[in-house]
Amino acid sequence: MTTNPEPITPQGLEEIRVRAEAATPGPWHWYVRPDVREARIQTAGWDIVMDVVRWGTQAAEPRFNTGGLMYKLSELAKAPERHPDMVFLAAARQDVALLLAEVEWLAAELVEARTHLDGRAEESAWQQSAQTSARVARTAQQRAVRLAEEVAQLRTRVAELTAGPADSPGGAS
């Protein structure tokens, strides 16, 4: 894969974006017809991005579409940096490598973030469990106090009822 452990800089990403937006819109694909010695890169709408005017090693020369007209590389060679498709193609290899490195870096960051969140979720679950346990313990303690009060009241009432009328307050003497 790639070996770039650092994320792409915003400037580097912007440079790639400028090259991509300046180039002929895609998608691009090869159209090759050996029977008529035709080879070109074209869009899905059949707009030619680049073609080769002759096959073989003698005088074969690529041409690029400029404003709807095809110009030979030799005609554009004086300022190739001005033709957006040539710039895009020349930078594609390193741009793809940088973008792949960026995807790998972002994937690693995502894994790290998820691991961190999972750890926090476990910690949060433990804290919620502890809070729930504390709440249950408080409720149980409050119930125990109320029950102890009820038991004391019931014992008092039982003692009153078993003592008889003479021992009860307001009873006959």
Mean pLDDT (the chain, rounded): 80
Residue 157 belongs to some domain of the structure? yes
Interacting residues of 54 by C-beta distance below 8 A, sequence separation 6+: 37, 60, 61
- Cα–Cα distance for residue pair 72/41, rounded to 1 Å: 15
Residue 108 belongs to some domain of the structure? yes
Residue 172 belongs to some domain of the structure? no
Split at pLDDT 50, 70, 90, the class of 162 is confident
Torsion sign over Cα 32, 33, 38, 44: negative
Domain count, the chain: 1
Residue 170 belongs to some domain of the structure? no
SS3 45: coil
- Cα–Cα distance for residue pair 103/122, rounded to 1 Å: 28
Residue 80 belongs to some domain of the structure? yes
85-125 pLDDT, tens per residue? Answer: 888 888 898 889 888 888 888 888 888 888 878 777 667 77
Residue 169 belongs to some domain of the structure? no
Residue 33 belongs to some domain of the structure? yes
pLDDT at 27: 92
Residue 63 belongs to some domain of the structure? yes
55-82 pLDDT, tens per residue? Answer: 666 777 888 888 888 888 878 877 766 7
Cross-strand bridge partners of residue 4: none
18-66 pLDDT, tens per residue? Answer: 999 999 998 999 998 888 778 899 998 889 999 887 766 677 788 888 8
Range of the domain at 26: 1-163
Peptide bond before residue 84 is cis, with ω within 30 degrees of 0: no
pLDDT at 16: 92
pLDDT at 14: 92
